[in-house]
Amino acid sequence: MTLCAVALAADLRGASRLLVDAATGVTDLVESMHGTIAGLAGIVPGSSNQRTRGITRFVYRCVGGGIRLVGAGIERTLVPVSAWHQAGHGAQQRPARHAAALGVLNGVLGDHLAATGNPLAISMGLRRDGMRLELGRAALRRAVPAASPRILVQAHGLCMHPGHWERAGRDEVAAAGARLGYTCLQLHYNTGLHIAANGRSLAALLENLLAQWPVEVRELAIVGHSMGGLVARSAHHYGAAAGHAWPERLRKLVFLGAPHHGSPLERAGNGLDMLLGLSPYSRPFTRLGRVRSHGITDLRFGILLEQDWAARDRYAPMRKDPRTPLPLPERVECYTAAALRGENEGALSARLVGDGLVPLASALGEHEDARFALDFPPGHRWVGTGLSHFDLVSSPRLLAQLARWLGN
């Protein structure tokens, strides 16, 4: 069996499991809607928004059971092949479109995929030249024969993947880093998990990387695009708290369009949840809004620490910012780049729209509450006009500024 067929079998297994989850979820939603309407109409005694009863409930249970039975049959057919793949026999570089689709799927449903053990869930790792690195000293010597004592890690954003750094087949950020003597590695992670969970995992990954790197690491730099910048901040916090060695090697931290104080798109999603909950007829559909992953709901405020969400309903409306203030790391040169779709940085509308996804103030770390404001020196801030959120990985103007920051 070819490696492509093995990889496809693993993907089909994950997709079939996800389709079963989706179908049973829709069945539950329809039953809830049925029970709500029946209760409000007085057909079913008691309160609204409840399960159906009697023969109706039996029918819904049969539908759900049949869907799960079909899914189990598919699972039994594909599990031997996908197990062979997971043992390492099917490791390969997948097509760009496949990686892009998988990145989006993990961004939206990654917490569910991880919680259910779905093979489509992305496990955190580092890549170079499109291939996943094995973090053993001998394996790293083979994969990176000219390893530099200076490492640059690139962390992608929500719903993205390492290939997102490339434009026309070329990773300009990695090329800029290589010219400055860095060995550049790309982080790949499940963006649907909590930012804090990814921060902890990244902290452990970097500690292992430095311990296994073929030469002694003198300098570590991280460039984080969008959510990737928040994961890097969280990782530094957890790495320092754990007494890791790598935070002492971290010299530079560059944020590209990072929503330090959240994004209005997630706040709009939370507002839609509230509107759907106002009517008993639409209330069952709030389940659809609650499909949003942990990673997405973290972006309402830019939550980086476990303690800030552990005791809260992440879908509940929050008038006050729930975060514990987390300043920029000390003894690390921190830089932030923001984009404006318009040409006038001073225009209020332009600042609110920002790069189309992240408002200007959020990307620059500005906040009306001094506890949350991030202290970037004037020379460590850059605003590119006429650019979108995704232009921040390839704009020649940004790349020139990035080279100056990394080369200092």
Residue 40 has a pLDDT of: 44
Helix (H, G, I), strand (E, B) or coil at 157: coil
The predicted pLDDT at position 93 comes to 54
Instruction: Provide the pLDDT for residue 19.
Output: 57
Q: Using CA atoms, how far apart are residues 26 and 24, in angstroms rounded to an integer?
A: 5
Question: Cα 402 vs. chain centroid, distance in angstroms?
Answer: 23
Given this model, what pLDDT does residue 12 score? 54
> Residue 119: which of 144, 147, 94 has the closest Cα?
94
* Burial (Cβ within 10 Å: 0-12, 13-18, ≥19) of residue 395: buried
Q: What is the pLDDT of residue 120?
A: 84
Where do the domains of the chain lie? Answer: 3-92, 125-262+323-407
pLDDT of residue 321: 85
Q: Distance between CA 274 and CA 276 in Å, rounded?
A: 6
Please identify every stretch of the chain with a pLDDT value under 50, giving residue numbers as ranges: 1-3, 5-6, 20, 22-49, 52-53, 55-60, 62-71, 73-75, 77-79, 81-82, 84-92, 269-288
Residue bearing tokens 């730099």 = 221
CA distances from 38 to 35, 275, 281, 368 (A): 5, 22, 11, 49
For residue range 171-223, list pLDDT tens digits in order: 999 999 999 999 999 999 999 999 999 999 999 999 999 999 999 999 999 99
Confidence (pLDDT) at 363 = 96
Q: What are the structure tokens assigned to 354, written together?
A: 């920002």
Of the chain, the end-to-end C-alpha distance in Å amounts to: 51
Please say whether the structural domain 125-262+323-407 has been given the CATH code 3.40.50.1820: yes
Q: Tens digits of per-residue pLDDT, 144-185?
A: 999 999 999 999 999 899 999 998 889 999 999 999 999 999
Comparing CA positions, the residue from 297, 335, 267 lying closest to residue 196 is 297
Entry pTM: 0.77
